[in-house]
A and B are shown apart, each in its own frame.
Chain A
Amino acid sequence: MSMKATIRQVDSVVVVDISGRITLGEGCTQLRELIRDQLSKGNKKLLLNLADVSYIDSSGIGELVSAFTAVSNQGGQLKLLNLTKKVHDLLQITKLYTVFDIHDDEAKAIGSFQKA
């Protein structure tokens, strides 16, 4: 199953509901284009909901890092929501857990952008 992404706006935050696989090839390319597209529209508060991500590989992790850097470099914020255990473990192993702002409650995640 390839990656699918649905975009919705909640207040000033763009929430991206991602499902499927973020892996080398199609999944990573889709995510990269999605982030680029949102930044080009001036949307700099992005919340990636990873609840339905079934698989992520080292390239997918790299793509999350790339997205985080791209958004931060434009003065924006990229946060993560609802990590599965597999993704959570991978971010801990790679020591990226402290790099990302990670939430498990959407309303609180949205609120954290507004305070920033």
Chain B
Amino acid sequence: MTSEPSVVEVTLESDLKNLEVAEEIVHRVAGTAGFGEESEHQIEMAVHESMINAIWHGNKNDASKRVWLRFEVYKDRLEIHIRDQGIGFNVDAVPDPCAGDNLLKVSGRGIFLIRTFMDEFRVNHVPGLGTEVTLVKRIDPTHQAK
């Protein structure tokens, strides 16, 4: 049986100025969940990159649209859901930024960093609602020590 998570939920205007708002929430939630400084920074970066994807690529930088964030703290993990109002993307089509000619490309590292820093990364397009990414970081003694 899974116990009920502790939940923080917020809806933000689709504006880059809200990146720092999201980071502040991450700081508080990750601290409460018991993550150490390094893990907290990794979660912060993953949320930052996901927010940029949501604002720029999902909502096309349209400030009238919204980005919805939900943080769920379970005993064994932190689950973060970030939803935009866009049409989604094929995560498998995102090229490896470390491969060959991609290494010196200016963009294309966001998803790679999210995948590197989080234990799970899922993308789900919900017709009529938008695209939701789910980020999971497990809480274990290793994370808490870092």
Contact = CB atoms under 8 A, between A and B. Distances in A.
Contacts of B97: 94
Nearest to A72: B104
Nearest to B112: A94
Interface of B: 16, 19, 41, 45, 48-49, 52, 56, 97-98, 103-107, 109-110, 112-113, 116
A111 interface: no
B49 A58 contact: yes
Contacts of B48: 23, 57
Contacts of A63: 106
B16 to A, nearest CB: 5
A114 interface: no
Given A57-B49, A94-B98, A95-B98, A62 B16 contact: no
A93 interface: yes
A13 interface: no
Given A94-B98, A96-B103, A62 B109 contact: yes
Q: How would you classify the secondary structure of chain A's contact residues: helix, strand, loop or mixed?
A: helix
A112 interface: no
28 contacts: A23-B48, A24-B16, A24-B52, A24-B56, A25-B16, A57-B45, A57-B48, A57-B49, A58-B49, A58-B109, A58-B112, A58-B113, A59-B107, A61-B109, A62-B105, A62-B106, A65-B104, A65-B106, A69-B104, A86-B41, A90-B113, A93-B113, A93-B116, A94-B109, A94-B112, A94-B113, A95-B103, A96-B103
A73 to B, nearest CB: 11
Interface residues of A, number: 20
Nearest to B109: A58
